[in-house]
Structure 1
């Protein structure tokens, strides 16, 4: 487990670790302490229990459960005295597009015909009922990365307009961690499938096909086949997503090996070349596929509430969490409701509890504190993506984002797990807050999985706003907690995205409480400061 090296992240203020950025005297310290201690297990537990009750019907976007959820959130923010964050409204409308590709499709590459969900998956984000690629030249583009900061461009000198690009999953550091390339086994955004499609779109490709491999993807082919089939969601755009690559898909590893073999190439050897430096090579074959889709547009809502700052109210610290889950499946026998207690009633409960703590202060922080509770995270971070692309608070006035997702109900820990460790100076604030609890910062247990790019803070990071995602840890506080964690983790893990993700009275909320207090302190210190936390030099993100 990697512990944080504070020397690697510049201290933002000489007073930060002394007594807290804002605690200039004993009365302000007492004021902060009262607010800090107002965050309790009981409050967090009560909100989680309510939000994950059957009345909320699994909190699916655009459902009856959404309206019940919105009413609950707005009522709480009003009762706390928070102002509407969007003019006179607590809501921001998010226009969603649902597209379902017909399973009656196949992809041909050269003499090979690959069947849907067996050797290939294909879909489109374009708002068209039918999208085709016919006799498109196939080009292997290595990892499909264009990263000037790493002096790496797999597309250099290559025109892929109208062509089908075949791309390796993850980034060059994963399987060559000692090479000094990228960040070793820690995935950068260049390793995420979302980036691969975005870059292929920028390059003008007609189709972008990622080669699946279990280890670098961090999930098996069944996850690809199940997750990329059925309804797929995106945001409605002015141009109908015409700037997206027409076809987005995957090839199984066996299918890819056949394609390379037909080109007289060995897949493993070509991959080895791609690991050494920017690489591309024609596969001397043509690809064809047609995707027929049904489309449905709908509207969901983000919730936004603000506590205006006492001195610089135009500058904001934004806390985020997603209120949505998977809703209700009436085709199921027995329990039909995906209550989403852990994911993410706990995060939404944390947001409400931290919001209440800020109102316990005698004087509001100098900067404004805003709570953004977003929709459609489960459909691909769409609520936060929409907000980041249509910000209500200007991004150049957004100091930082602190995200809360699937909080730690496994008991108190000696450490704090930082997802995407080393990315920004926000970790200096986090280390100071952790020290109050005698905790240390550690790197997430599987940085190669790219978890930093899988929750709502990432939408802010892409826009250059420093974003922090930290929670829990791996080392239980004592043996009793360790025994509880061993039992409870089986349920938490096994019930992920299942109807059994339900509130349990025996959950230990002490870990959620400590993490909530931790994030409250981080936000408080930033809101009381005049500093603008920066990204680290090694991060792929920088302020725009």
Structure 2
């Protein structure tokens, strides 16, 4: 059955009549829940094999998305198809790894996961000194350098996850409990590489990482993709990965140190310590080069088509793990077939309005990105080699894992307080009598973990939002509690599968918020910027800051 919901009916609130819809010249739009469900269901089906880049699953996904955008009548940016080639290299480390940390013989997957992003047939490291470098941070603006006076050549850095603010949230260090980019694993490997280290191993700890060891094992074993960039590859650490906290404790004990004591010291001030133990690592490695693809479709603006608003959602997931017992397919229904289906449904609404003679003044471009799970690869590539100039890109709205837990009274903006762009979402929430809030766990570093971040680093206002933590009523609260039990442990796991009993009413409300925000911004002359005190203010300052 086709479900048609206007912006007001979608909110299902009596007060909605007090806020006439101003979506795209007050025109009501229709969201089709069955169509939205069907997109999620197909994209996350076993046939699509977990949608790993450069696989059969990618081919099926590209065809499905291209046909969907074509049916809407959206423009092909290159005039030929909807694809932007993203040159990738796939590294596949052997499952048979010989790893010795000091006199500890550790087991691959169970105790440690390692890989190499070098085009080498064999990784062979003998007796490399292990050096503890605290949080592995070099941040002059925080007067912090864990690598002070160190020569890391030929050595392997052992690093804590997150940043000192997590451990000491009331100390004024970094951004308190909210993770900074210095807390992300990607930064830690990048900085170790800049320091000339031979390798880098992060100590996993569930609370500061915000996910259990199973996520590390599932995400960091098997084929690993990266952008094909020979110069950057040559400067990368030779080996990188994670070890369990238990193994780290044993390693530090062998060095005559208490890990918990050293962790406390690392949070208080920069630290580096030689562990007086060496690592020997050997495994076969394979590198394969091929293109993966972003899917890019444009709805041209009527009067300012050179000015772009982007909607992004990553189509990729982890794929298949043939070494896993039982179910081997990481279907990625919530993460992120749901977000991909979301931008398709939003695109259909704007396309319908354009066909009725009511296009936006500015252009809308929808980008289904590749390789997000491997380090935001598709969005990083687009931001570095954009189809449309970034100085003409007004804003980015990113959808990653939509709400499957029912309607909410609130609405979560990840990294709330960073840019003026969020005001468009906050204004749109009035039609649903909802309030905007920051994420519940800022220590998880959500702002740095999805595709919007690639654009933020370039100064383009980019936002990641949706869902909320307050169910709209008791029945929804009970449903949410039961569904959370069903979904527990499914992040980056094989149980992230489409469920017929998902309540998608909250997701549809969120789509309406994105739609209204984009419609308003798409018809005015505003250029949102980043607030003073944020990491990106210097790149595109908020209006008040720009006038100072």
TM-score bracket, shorter-length normalisation: 0.7 to 0.9
Shift of 1:110: 4.3
Shift of 1:401: 1.4
| Structure 1 residue runs without a partner (length 5+) | 1-26
Instruction: Classify 1:194/1:356 alpha carbon distance in 2 versus 1 (closer, same or farther; 3 Å).
Output: same
Q: For the residues of structure 1 that align with 2:23 and 2:337, how far apart are their CA atoms?
A: 31
The equivalent residue for 1:51 is 43
Q: For the residues of structure 1 that align with 2:231 and 2:60, how far apart are their CA atoms?
A: 33
The equivalent residue for 1:516 is 511
Give the match's secondary structure for 1:83: coil
Match of 2:91 among 92, 99, 111: 99
Instruction: Classify 1:339/1:228 alpha carbon distance in 2 versus 1 (closer, same or farther; 3 Å).
Output: closer
Is 1:342–1:492's contact at 8 Å kept on the other side of the alignment? Answer: no
Give the match's secondary structure for 2:164: coil
Match of 2:521 among 526, 529, 532: 526
Q: For the residues of structure 1 that align with 2:517 and 2:195, how far apart are their CA atoms?
A: 40
The equivalent residue for 2:460 is 465
The equivalent residue for 1:179 is 171
Is 1:399–1:532's contact at 8 Å kept on the other side of the alignment? Answer: yes
Matches within 5 A, 1:364-383: 364-383=359-378
The equivalent residue for 1:441 is 436
Shift of 1:183: 1.7
Residues 280-307 of structure 1, C-alpha deviations (whole Å, 9 max, x = no match): 2333444332342123333322100112
Q: For the residues of structure 2 that align with 1:54 and 1:210, how far apart are their CA atoms?
A: 33
Instruction: Classify 1:99/1:171 alpha carbon distance in 2 versus 1 (closer, same or farther; 3 Å).
Output: same
1:236 matched to 2:231? The reply is no
Residues 286-335 of structure 1, C-alpha deviations (whole Å, 9 max, x = no match): 43323421233333221001122233322211100122334567888987
Residues 232-280 of structure 1, C-alpha deviations (whole Å, 9 max, x = no match): 2222223471121111123333433344444444333332222122222
Query: TM-score under structure 1 normalisation?
Result: 0.86
Is 2:222–2:321's contact at 8 Å kept on the other side of the alignment? Answer: no
Instruction: Classify 1:162/1:54 alpha carbon distance in 2 versus 1 (closer, same or farther; 3 Å).
Output: closer
Q: For the residues of structure 2 that align with 1:318 and 1:53, how far apart are their CA atoms?
A: 27
Is 2:23–2:519's contact at 8 Å kept on the other side of the alignment? Answer: no
Give the match's secondary structure for 1:273: helix
Match of 1:405 among 400, 403, 406: 400
Match of 1:290 among 258, 282, 291: 282
The equivalent residue for 2:244 is 252
Match of 2:306 among 304, 314, 338: 314
Shift of 1:473: 0.6
1:34 matched to 2:21? The reply is no
Q: For the residues of structure 1 that align with 2:479 and 2:74, how far apart are their CA atoms?
A: 37
Residues 37-69 of structure 1, C-alpha deviations (whole Å, 9 max, x = no match): 323434423433443455545434334443333
Q: For the residues of structure 1 that align with 2:406 and 2:100, how far apart are their CA atoms?
A: 52
1:215 matched to 2:207? The reply is yes
Shift of 1:396: 2.5
Query: TM-score under structure 2 normalisation?
Result: 0.85
Give the match's secondary structure for 1:72: helix
Instruction: Classify 1:130/1:538 alpha carbon distance in 2 versus 1 (closer, same or farther; 3 Å).
Output: farther
Number of residue pairs aligned between Structure 1 and Structure 2: 518
1:384 matched to 2:376? The reply is no
Instruction: Classify 1:285/1:442 alpha carbon distance in 2 versus 1 (closer, same or farther; 3 Å).
Output: same
Matches within 5 A, 1:333-372: 338-359=330-351, 360-361=353-354, 362-372=357-367
The equivalent residue for 2:414 is 419
| Structure 2 residue runs without a partner (length 5+) | 1-19, 540-548
1:158 matched to 2:141? The reply is no
Residues 58-117 of structure 1, C-alpha deviations (whole Å, 9 max, x = no match): 434334443333223222222322111235431012233222222433444445444434
Instruction: Classify 1:171/1:396 alpha carbon distance in 2 versus 1 (closer, same or farther; 3 Å).
Output: same
Instruction: Classify 1:55/1:155 alpha carbon distance in 2 versus 1 (closer, same or farther; 3 Å).
Output: closer
Shift of 1:413: 0.7
